[in-house]
Amino acid sequence: MELLMRILQMIFDTSVDVLPIVSIIFGFQFLVIRRPVPNLKRVIIGFAYVLVGLSLFLLGLEQALFPLGRLMADQLTNPSFIYGELANVQHAIHWADYYWVYIFAFAIGFSTTIAEPSLIAVAIKANEVSAGAIGVQGLRISVAIGVAVGISLGSYRIVTGYPIHYFIITGYIIVVIQTFFAPKMIVPLAYDSGGVTTSTVTVPLVAALGLGLAETVPGRNVLIDGFGLIAFASLFPIMSVMAYAQISEYIANRSD
């Protein structure tokens, strides 16, 4: 009964959030375009699916993904896991001791990005409009590698406590330099790739991982160090996609 009430409450909250979108769409349709909505019944049913699906998804985040991300961070940074029998001995924090954190961050970044629906949609569209020049799998894998590297580096930043702006500013300097040398047709797509990665699947786990690390690594501040992984997940795919295009172009030129 409690679960049912939670679901109904979530559906109500989601309906309130979606209401402005519905109002704008139907407002423009009736007041600006001044035409009836084609297949109105189908559209209404579709909105109902969105409400129910989004509500269940948000409830799932709250019940599973956020706690799971924090649990993994807590377990991987537990002294008994890192130092084993020497857990009770006083140790100075060394970034290399948390290598399992970086491996997990890489793996979770890669796997969640590969499963990201928005990335799949963008990759398919890019393949269609480029007449096959941009491969679906190649784009997905290059973006996933970028996210994986970014989240690993972001986890390293949390462990070490280095200021985030050092990494982000350096990263965007590299992006600007790459922009001048990457194939022109890939540059806008590369920039968009940084956005599609921060969507429904990736963000919850990555955010939970960052907050969990900041809570469990000694000397870290949750507010200062816990956030920022999403920025890494958005930045590094831009680099990896342009690098993928540059490498592909280089290989193609050598084979000619």
Contact call for residues 134 and 173 (beta carbons, < 8 A) = no
CA distance 15 to 228: 30
Contact call for residues 216 and 226 (beta carbons, < 8 A) = no
Q: What is the structure's pLDDT at 85?
A: 62
Q: What is the structure's pLDDT at 202?
A: 78
Helix (H, G, I), strand (E, B) or coil at 182: coil
Return the residue matching tokens 């959030």: 17
Q: What is the structure's pLDDT at 131?
A: 77
Q: What is the structure's pLDDT at 256?
A: 63
The amino acid that residue 239 corresponds to is: M
Q: What is the structure's pLDDT at 174?
A: 95
Q: What is the structure's pLDDT at 197?
A: 74
Contact call for residues 146 and 242 (beta carbons, < 8 A) = no
The pair of structure tokens assigned to 178 is 């790459």
CA distance 218 to 92: 10
CA distance 155 to 104: 10
Which pLDDT tens digits describe the chain residue by residue (256 residues)? 777 788 888 888 888 888 888 889 888 888 888 888 888 889 889 888 888 888 888 888 778 777 877 788 888 888 777 766 665 556 666 778 888 999 999 998 898 888 888 888 888 888 888 777 788 888 899 999 999 999 999 999 999 889 999 999 999 999 999 999 988 888 998 998 888 777 777 787 888 888 888 888 888 888 888 888 889 999 999 999 999 888 888 887 777 6
CA distance 204 to 226: 13
If residue 250 lies in a helix (H) or strand (E), which one and from where to where?
helix 229-255
Q: What is the structure's pLDDT at 175?
A: 95
Listing DSSP states for 136-173 in one string gives HHHHHHHHHHHHHHHHHHHHHHHHHT--HHHHHHHHHH
